Amino acid sequence: MPKKKRPKVLIVDDEVNITLSMMEFLSKKLECYGAYSYEEAVEFLQRHPVDLVISDIKLPGKDGFDLLLWIKENQPETRVILITAYGSPAFKEKAQKSGALLYIEKPVDLNQLLRIIGKIFQTKGFDVSLSDLELVDILQFLSFYNKDVVLNVENSIGLKGEIGVKDGKIMWARTEDLKGIDAFMEMMSWEGGTFTSSPYRDEEEGKIEDSIMHLVLEAAKHRDEAKTKDEEEFEVIIKGGEKMAELQEILEKSAQEIPELMGTSIVNLESGLPIATYSPDPNFDVAVASAVYAEVLKANNRALELLGGPEAVGETEDILITTDMAYILIRQLGEKHYHGVAITRKGNLGLARVIMKKYEIPFLEALKELGEI
């Protein structure tokens, strides 16, 4: 039976004795390596990717936070355990629930650490990687660790922004188009992307100066409100689509009752654009006909006004245009729409008129449901 492959673990701590003692203890179950700084860790990982990195947060120069960002950007499937001297039960609970990284406190209980690692590599369970870390996770980490940085954010479609973090506060924020709180909220709405950090610097533009946790909670509230609004708008679109489908269904039903049909449509009179169309004849361009005959109907209405209006000449029931190949009937629906029908010269003109009148009320009701009337 082949020997089971042992998980590879990199331990990063600037205290040599701690690194060596952890390596010696964990080597009973794991393939262990050691590094004593950010630079050594990155150099090793570039040559030898591992399954898990265990790093002290405090390192000389670039620290455990910088290493976390490097791993997320370059080897996001790698799991991370950060060792900290700072206890914050609420934050550690949040971090552990996120699944992407874990925190343990100094002094490290090696037996407890081994149990945690065992859970990480169980077939079922810990299957989330650093690729799942979002901006909110990074900011909460900074709040916990109290690290002063400029966080450089780039989302999945290339939009970029910066957030200045100092003493547990968001001091300023800006994107390419926005500054201050608007820029911060915009970045918090981004999904996916990358994060890098650089030394903190003061900026006059885009000042915020509010606690990280307060702003994170405000962003969550803002995101929930935006989500609710999006859902409401989506519901309106869905309902509009359903009503449009009903209008289309009525039009197609009426079309089945008209022999020798070339095409039919319900058209917005002002724009000349069809709202619903049907044509069994691939050579008949319903869209063009809809626009052209909208102008015909508008010209007819202007002519009636010049003749004294409905009081003088009555209401138009329909307009008939006869060519050597077709009859074209136009029947106005309310003030804003018309129903157009084109049939061949073999068709029954009287029957077509009867069918158009039969469906006038169903068409008007459907247009009212759409908010078109």
pLDDT band at residue 23 under the 50/70/90 scheme: very high
pTM listed for this prediction: 0.49
Cβ-contact 264, 255 below 8 angstroms = yes
At the second CATH level, the architecture of 256-369 is 2-Layer Sandwich (3.30)
How far lies 213's CA from each of 97, 141, 157, 216, 219, in Å?
17, 10, 27, 5, 10
- Strands (E) in the chain, as ranges, are 8-12, 31-35, 52-56, 79-84, 101-105, 149-154, 160-166, 169-175, 194-199, 207-211, 261-268, 274-278, 319-322, 326-333, 337-344
Q: Quick: pLDDT tens for 272-298.
A: 888 889 999 888 888 889 989 999 999
Q: What mean pLDDT value characterizes the chain? A: 83
- Cα separations in angstroms, 274 against 39, 104, 288: 65, 65, 9
pLDDT in tens, 105-135: 778 888 888 888 887 776 443 344 455 567 8
Residue 76 DSSP symbol: T
Asked if 126 and 120 count as a contact pair (C-beta separation under 8 A), the reply is: yes
Q: According to CATH, where is 3.40.50.2300 located in the chain?
A: 8-133
Q: By mean pLDDT, which of 94-103, 181-190, 254-263 is the weakest?
A: 94-103
The CATH architecture assigned to 8-133 reads 3-Layer(aba) Sandwich (3.40)
For 183, the 3-state DSSP assignment is helix
Q: Where do the H-state alpha helices sit in 75-147?
A: 89-98, 110-120, 135-145
Q: Which amino acid is at 79?
A: R
Q: How far apart are CA 329 and CA 267, in angstroms?
A: 13
Distance between CA atoms of 229 and 78, rounded to whole angstroms? 37
Helix ranges (DSSP H) in 135-211: 135-145, 181-188
Left, alpha or beta for 302 (phi > 0: left; psi -120 to 50: alpha)? alpha
Which residue ranges does the chain devote to CATH 3.30.450.30? 256-369
